[in-house]
């Protein structure tokens, strides 16, 4: 098999769609593809720490089986032979799910999470388990059994989190797609910091079964890829009702790739300016990039108007009260008996739940209902919302005060609170050579609209062609 | 809400069973207590006391 590219050269930045197509048409060997990625991982991961556990031997064996199947004309599905990385709070049978924490060191998963099982059924090959903030909340931390992941655009900088290894590895070409989870923005933050595409789907669209919870009513599982089409393809594979997940939506998954190229003409876009202009004033470069995205969509024929929502500060507070109350119900016993086995950041971010009352949790949920109504009202006027994701480019990791300052400066938590689908992607590059970001938000289960507008921006901007200057 | 005073914090620590954490990581426990107090102060209570909380999960064809 030969894809027309010299041995391994350039394979690491091919898209999922291109790789799957080449494998399906016997132009590319899954074994050669896996070897190329393993070589790149060996070369770059010592600088990036995207992996907690690389499963090279099993990945190569599976690639050999995938090659034999492809030669025999048997393709498992649309991801046949394509490598995927899995955030280490998601179960992969036979591998530990550590949640990047000493608390769960050696916690062997006996079966695949539903999302992993669906990826495997579609032919994807799990290459390993990826770094995360501890329990998807405490990071970046240097007091854990494994080091934190780093940003391939500049390894001195934070890759975002909590799906840090997923963002870092996809951007660096260690694997073309990854799974992340998002409770307060943890798919969209690394997507924003690392310049890739990250989707938090509608609440309940992707099964949470087999994923270690952080907050039952805020947790989402989402695809992370280098372009919009791959993201849509990955969502097609992992979406769908799961009768054994009590939070699973009855709605079935959609055909998200079908309407990708319809463009922005005629779309009504609501620009939520007050998030980044008033509530949390963004860095000027971030603001300029958002204006650029808005004008680019206008130039394609979109009708852009301003939209107001509740303030970011209040969205964040509601998210925190719900998250910390639910997380306390998960971590309380370990925090009582093994507080020293958590890193400092996780300990500080998980213990507030001990100091919140039942009435606080109910009040936050009452306000949540009003916030849902506000976002639904906005989305009755427009087809999609455009807003900031991160208010700053990724900061240096060796400056804890700067990490602490910039970490909450984001507009992602609103859509965990409300459950609406939200996609973050690159809007440009900062003067320091780091990705800037934009976020699109849609109606419940209208991920197709998000992909459509995101694709329109991607095609006019060429953001999917920009890669970090590494390796 | 005011920042939590020390006596109240210690009472809540005992109630939550966090004595070990308080002994070993007093700064982290204090920071968590302060964060809980501050975050509640930022939420506006709905004007109508009859306002419903969102059922924790309401999966269906819509949400």
Annotated domain spans of chain A? 11-465
Contact B24 A339 (CB under 8 A): yes
pLDDT reading at B59 higher than 70: no
pLDDT reading at A39 higher than 50: yes
| B49 in contact with chain A, both atoms CB, cutoff 8 A | no
Instruction: Taking residues A263-282, report their average pLDDT.
Output: 98
pLDDT reading at B57 higher than 60: no
Reading the block at residue A271, the tokens are: 């620009």
Predicted local confidence at residue A152, as pLDDT: 98
Predicted local confidence at residue B61, as pLDDT: 52
Q: Under a CB-based contact definition with an 8 Å cutoff, are residues A180 and A186 in contact?
A: yes
Query: What residues of chain B lie within 8 A of the CB of A419, using their CB?
Result: 63
| B30 in contact with chain A, both atoms CB, cutoff 8 A | no
Report the distance separating Cα A132 and Cα A120, nearest Å. Answer: 22
Reading the block at residue A246, the tokens are: 């009590």
pLDDT reading at A6 higher than 50: no
End-to-end CA distance of chain A: 25
Predicted local confidence at residue A3, as pLDDT: 47
Residue B46: inside a domain: no
pLDDT above 70: percentage of residues in chain A: 98
Predicted local confidence at residue A4, as pLDDT: 44
Is A186 assigned a catalytic role?
yes
Please report the DSSP string for A153-178 in residue order: T-TTB---SSSHHHHHHHHHTS-SEE
Q: Under a CB-based contact definition with an 8 Å cutoff, are residues A234 and A16 in contact?
A: yes
Is A164 assigned a catalytic role?
no
Predicted local confidence at residue B1, as pLDDT: 46
Q: What are phi and psi of A447, to 5 degrees?
A: -60, -30
Query: How would you class A343 by CB atoms within 10 Å of its CB: exposed for 0-12, middle for 13-18, buried for 19 or more?
Result: buried
Measured at the CA of A153, the angle between CA A149 and CA A156, to 5 degrees, comes to 55
Instruction: Taking residues B43-62, report their average pLDDT.
Output: 74
- Min Cα separation A84/chain B (Å): 29
Residue B48: inside a domain: no
Contact A314 B42 (CB under 8 A): yes
Residue B59: inside a domain: no
Q: What are phi and psi of A220, to 5 degrees?
A: -135, 150
| Coil vs helix vs strand at A387 | strand
Residue B28: inside a domain: yes
pLDDT in tens, A67-120: 999 999 999 999 999 999 999 999 999 999 999 999 999 999 999 999 999 999
Q: Under a CB-based contact definition with an 8 Å cutoff, are residues A334 and A342 in contact?
A: yes
Range of the domain at B20: 6-41
Count of other CB atoms within 10 angstroms of residue A462: 8
A239, β-bridge pairs? A206
A·B CB contacts under 8 A? 135
pLDDT band at A426 (very low <50, low <70, confident <90, very high): very high
Nearest CB among A320, A335, A362 relative to B39 is that of: A320
Q: Under a CB-based contact definition with an 8 Å cutoff, are residues A211 and A90 in contact?
A: yes
Residue B10: inside a domain: yes
Contact A355 B28 (CB under 8 A): no
Segment holding A86, helix H or strand E: strand A83-87
Residue B22: inside a domain: yes
- Min Cα separation A196/chain B (Å): 28
pLDDT band at A1 (very low <50, low <70, confident <90, very high): very low
| A374 in contact with chain B, both atoms CB, cutoff 8 A | no
Nearest CB among A347, A362, A444 relative to B62 is that of: A444
Residue B21: inside a domain: yes
A179, β-bridge pairs? A86, A223
Query: pTM for this one?
Result: 0.97
Set A101, A131, A141, A162: catalytic member? A162
| Coil vs helix vs strand at A275 | helix
A-interface mutation test, from B29, B36, B49, most A Cβ less than 10 A away: B36
Reading the block at residue A52, the tokens are: 């907690």
Is A248 assigned a catalytic role?
no
CA A173 to centroid of chain Cα atoms: 16
Predicted local confidence at residue A252, as pLDDT: 77
* Count of structural domains, chain B: 1
Report the distance separating Cα A378 and Cα A360, nearest Å. Answer: 27
pLDDT in tens, A383-398: 999 999 999 999 999 9
Lowest average pLDDT, out of A58-62, A291-295, A374-378, B50-54, goes to: B50-54
- Min Cα separation A339/chain B (Å): 6
Please state whether the peptide bond connecting residue B50 to the residue before it is cis, i.e. omega within 30 degrees of 0.
Answer: no
Reading the block at residue A291, the tokens are: 């204006």
Task: Please give the CATH superfamily to which domain A11-465 belongs.
Answer: Amidase signature (AS) domain (3.90.1300.10)
pLDDT in tens, A332-372: 999 999 999 999 999 999 999 999 999 999 999 999 999 99
pLDDT reading at A135 higher than 70: yes
Query: What residues of chain B lie within 8 A of the CB of A354, using their CB?
Result: 12-13, 16, 18, 32, 36
- Min Cα separation B31/chain A (Å): 7
Residue B51: inside a domain: no
Q: Under a CB-based contact definition with an 8 Å cutoff, are residues A336 and B18 in contact?
A: yes
Predicted local confidence at residue B55, as pLDDT: 65
Query: What residues of chain A lie within 8 A of the CB of B46, using their CB?
Result: 366-367, 370
Q: Under a CB-based contact definition with an 8 Å cutoff, are residues B29 and B13 in contact?
A: yes
pLDDT in tens, B10-40: 999 999 999 999 999 999 999 999 999 999 9
């Amino acid at each position: 098999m030969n894809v027309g590219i010299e041995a391994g050269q350039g394979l690491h930045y091919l898209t999922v769609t291109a790789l799957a197509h080449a494998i399906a048409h016997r132009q590319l060997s899954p074994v050669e593809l896996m070897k190329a990625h393993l070589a790149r991982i060996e070369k770059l991961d010592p600088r990036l720490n995207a992996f907690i556990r690389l499963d090279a031997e099993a990945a190569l064996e599976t690639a050999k089986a995938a090659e034999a199947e492809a030669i025999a004309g048997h393709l498992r599905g649309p991801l046949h032979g394509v490598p995927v990385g899995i955030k280490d709070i998601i179960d992969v049978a036979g591998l530990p799910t550590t949640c990047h924490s000493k608390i769960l060191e050696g916690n062997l998963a006996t079966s695949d999470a539903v999302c992993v099982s669906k990826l495997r059924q579609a032919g994807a090959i799990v290459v390993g388990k990826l770094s995360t903030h501890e329990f998807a909340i405490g990071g970046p931390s240097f007091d854990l059994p494994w080091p934190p992941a780093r940003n391939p655009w500049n390894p001195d900088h934070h890759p975002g989190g909590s799906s840090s290894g997923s963002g870092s590895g996809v951007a660096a070409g260690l694997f073309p797609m990854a799974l992340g989870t998002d409770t307060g923005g943890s798919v969209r933050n690394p997507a924003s910091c690392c310049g890739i595409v990250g989707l938090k789907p509608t609440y309940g669209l992707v099964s949470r079964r087999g994923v270690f919870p952080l907050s039952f009513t805020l947790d989402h599982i989402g695809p992370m890829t280098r372009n919009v089409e791959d993201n849509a393809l990955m969502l097609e594979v992992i979406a769908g009702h799961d009768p054994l997940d009590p939070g699973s939506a009855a709605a079935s998954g959609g055909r998200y790739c079908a309407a990708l190229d319809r463009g922005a003409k005629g779309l009504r876009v609501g620009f939520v300016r007050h998030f980044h202009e008033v509530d949390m004033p963004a860095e000027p470069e971030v603001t300029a990039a958002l204006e650029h995205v808005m004008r680019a969509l206008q130039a394609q024929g979109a009708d852009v108007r301003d939209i107001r929502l509740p303030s970011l500060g209040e969205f964040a507070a509601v998210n925190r009260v719900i998250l910390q109350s639910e997380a306390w119900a998960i971590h309380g016993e370990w925090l009582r008996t093994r507080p020293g086995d958590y890193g400092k950041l996780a300990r500080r971010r998980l213990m507030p739940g001990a100091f919140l009352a039942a009435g606080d949790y109910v009040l936050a949920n009452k306000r949540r209902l009003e916030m849902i109504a506000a976002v639904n009202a906005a989305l009755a006027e427009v087809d999609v919302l455009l807003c900031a994701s991160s208010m700053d480019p990724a900061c240096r990791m060796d400056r804890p005060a700067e990490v602490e300052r910039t970490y909450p400066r984001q507009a992602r938590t609103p859509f965990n609170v409300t459950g609406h689908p939200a996609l973050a992607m690159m809007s440009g590059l900062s003067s320091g050579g780091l990705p800037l970001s934009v976020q699109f938000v849609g109606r419940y289960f209208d991920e197709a609209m998000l992909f459509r507008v995101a694709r329109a921006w991607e095609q006019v901007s060429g953001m999917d062609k920009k890669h970090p200057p590494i390796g | 809400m005011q920042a939590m005073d020390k006596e109240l914090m210690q009472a809540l620590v005992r109630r939550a069973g966090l004595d070990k954490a308080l002994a070993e990581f007093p700064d982290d426990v204090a920071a968590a207590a302060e964060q809980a107090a501050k975050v509640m102060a930022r939420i506006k209570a709905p004007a109508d006391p009859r306002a419903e909380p969102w059922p924790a999960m309401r999966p269906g064809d819509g949400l």
